[in-house]
Amino acid sequence: MKTVTLALLALTALAPQAHASSPDAWAAYDKTVLASCTKASNLKNVKPVGTPAQFDDRVGYTAVLLQGQYPQKHMKGQQGSELCLYNKQSKTAFVTEWDSIRPTAKTR
């Protein structure tokens, strides 16, 4: 009986675990993602636009659209957008300029 119990415990430990995250855990994760993306951003006064896009764990990324102002003097405080991809495994953020997401102003 003792051998069967040990075998069952070993199999249970090896079985994939499904963990449902609590709202507090998601809030903490979102805070971590936002802090990492903000730090990686090249914009001043950077803020997230909307909520993070949670990709499937097979993809391994969370995406955040950021908006702020270009810091370069010649940009004269012009608004800019960046897309941040947060790697869940390495816990690192990567940003790229993404101004094409914003509609362009039409001139007459």
In-domain check, residue 83? yes
Residue 5 lies in a domain: no
Domain count, the chain: 1
Output the pLDDT for position 21: 83
pTM for the complete prediction?
Answer: 0.74
Q: What is the pLDDT of residue 108?
A: 54
pLDDT by residue, tens only, the chain of 108 residues: 544 333 333 434 444 444 568 999 999 999 999 999 999 999 999 999 999 999 999 999 999 999 999 999 999 989 999 999 999 999 999 999 999 887 666 555
CA distance 5 to 3: 5
CA distance 83 to 48: 10
Query: What domain range is 80 assigned to?
Result: 43-103
In a domain, 62, yes or no: yes
